[in-house]
Amino acid sequence: MIKTTYEEELNRTGKFTYTCSGVSMLPLLRQHKDLFTIEKKQGRCKRFDVVLYKRPPKSFVLHRVVEVRETDYVILGDNCINKEYGIRDEDILGVMTSFVRNGKEIPVSHKGYRVYAAVWYFFYPVRRIWKRCKSICGRIL
């Protein structure tokens, strides 16, 4: 599936399932192992939704909404330390509705998943400090 096909498939069928490439959504989605299903966005996104959005000039990113603002969103990958600001509704193509881990499909409405999303973001400040310390220590050693 080439990048422009995301939009075409969402417009044609309203959803698609794909595999993750990249590590920004670890530990939730493992690169080339787990699948995720995206459905065309309907209305405003909610906090902790995982969204597929366009990042100029031509890349597509799957990250989590961590703050809903009046005219835009703040987005963060589960394995990232830098938030992205100013993501608008028109940038977002779709919202993740489920993912497949070890052959089992898990809907985002599943209580365990919802707890994961809230707890994982709650520890964001700790993860940020930890990653920065690892980076500094790596340069010193």
Domains of the chain are 3-140 (2.10.109.10)
State yes or no: pLDDT of 1 exceeds 50.
Answer: no
**How far is 34 from 24, CA to CA, in rounded Å?**
13
Of the candidates 134, 47, 32, the residue with the CA atom closest to the CA atom of residue 95: 47
Count of H-run helices and E-run strands, the chain: 3, 8
- 140 confidence band (pLDDT: 50, 70, 90): low
Percent of the chain residues past pLDDT 70, beyond the cut: 94
Among 2-6, 25-29, 87-91, 103-107, the least confident range: 2-6
Helices assigned H by DSSP within 84-123: 111-122
State yes or no: pLDDT of 38 exceeds 80.
Answer: yes
Q: What is the pLDDT of residues 75-127, one digit of tens each?
A: 999 999 999 999 999 999 999 999 999 999 999 999 999 999 999 999 999 99
